[in-house]
Copies of this chain bind each other. A is one copy, B any other.
Amino acid sequence: MKRRTYRKRNFPLDQIRRYLEPGPIVLVSSAWRGKTNIMTMGWHMMLGFSPALFACYIWEANHSFEMLRRSKECVINLPTTDLVNEVVGIGNCMGDTIDKFEKFGLTPVPSSEVAAPLIHECYANFECRLYDGRQIAKHGLFIWEVVRAHVATSPKLPETVHYRGEGRFMVSGRAINLRRRFKPQNL
């Protein structure tokens, strides 16, 4: 599939829900002791506007688990449909012996605030620092504060990929604007 190239801008942190609340598959990049890794992740949610909090579940058997727990940093990268094969490939190999950036031809770009690299080919990148690690042991739940967001200037709406399990995905579809039916304080 032909990959897209996105030009990005710094994006207001209190508006990142636009991209994460719809529930897309994301790629989590990490760095620890000179090595980087990428994992595919679908279990995540917004948890606050300001600070911009984001929670996710990571299985301890994933190679990324210890890298994230120890480095206390990550980047949440938002892939679009053109990267669906990479999303599946990354989710089906282990980062302990291979360099996933190299294997999947993805470009690591230095982050502004954290050691974990951005994935250049993704529509958006959210740099995160661990905000609350106390639920990691019991629930595998990492609560992150997003400290910087890079979002493509175009298109306005990314075509994202949402996982249904069993190898099946849903691609984001048409838009509905019901702004006129909202109370102003709820917008």
Q: Point out residues on A near B: beta carbons under 8 Å.
A: 15, 17-19, 21-24, 42-48, 53, 55-57, 81, 84-85, 88-89, 91-92, 132, 135, 138-141, 143, 157, 161-183, 186-187
> Nearest 9 CB-CB pairs, A to B?
A23-B23, A173-B173, A167-B179, A22-B162, A45-B45, A169-B176, A171-B173, A167-B182, A88-B181
Given A21-B42, A88-B182, check contact A165 B15 (CB 8 Å). yes
Q: Write out the residue numbers on chain B whose beta carbons fall within 8 Å of the beta carbon of A92.
A: 181-183, 186
Oligomer copy total: 2
Residue in A23, A45, A176 with the greatest tally of chain B CB atoms within 10 Å: A23
In Å, the complex CA distance between A163 and B187 comes to 11
- One of B21, B43, B167 near A164 (C-beta < 8 A): B21
